[in-house]
């Protein structure tokens, strides 16, 4: 007799592990993560690529990093689940590094 395969409901990634819906917090978490990672990647590009030699890219990188840091810190205060906090802190760290690299290459100056 064939046995049914066990269902794996726990493998689906979710930010609502407490069973409640946090749509605004989830959106702020994802925005923080995307801005932080974008700032980090842009910071690495302007650091390593001599062809990207403009103050504009440095300013964009610094602004994206600053928004990720400040928005991430605010979102962190309101976060409800551990999964949200992990992604928020990842975005904050990426934003900090990107902002620092943007400032080092002439952003805001």
3-class SS letters over 15-82: CCCCCCCCHHHHHHHHHHHHHHHHHHHHHHHHHHCCCCCCHHHHHHHHHHHHHHHHHHHHHHHHCCCH
The two three-digit tokens of residue 18, written as one number? 């407490």
Decide: 105 and 49 in contact? Cβ < 8 Å: no
**Cβ–Cβ < 8 Å for 92, 32:** yes
Identify which has the larger pLDDT, 8 or 61.
61
| Residue 74 reports pLDDT greater than 70 | yes
Residue 17 is predicted with a pLDDT of 81
Which pTM was predicted? 0.84
Reference 79, options 63, 65, 90; nearest CA is: 90
Q: How many CB atoms are closer than 10 A to CB 77?
A: 8
- Interval 47-66: pLDDT, tens: 887 676 778 889 999 999 99
């Amino acid at each position: 007799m064939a046995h049914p395969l066990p269902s794996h409901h726990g493998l689906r990634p979710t930010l609502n592990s407490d069973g409640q819906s946090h749509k605004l917090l989830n959106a702020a978490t994802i925005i923080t993560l995307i801005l932080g990672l974008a700032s980090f990647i842009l910071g690495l590009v302007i650091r390593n690529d001599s062809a990207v030699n403009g103050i504009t890219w440095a300013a964009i990188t610094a602004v994206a990093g600053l928004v990720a840091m400040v928005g991430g810190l605010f979102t962190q205060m309101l976060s409800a689940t551990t999964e949200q906090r992990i992604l928020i802190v990842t975005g904050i760290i990426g934003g900090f590094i990107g902002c620092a690299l943007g400032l080092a290459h002439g952003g805001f100056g």
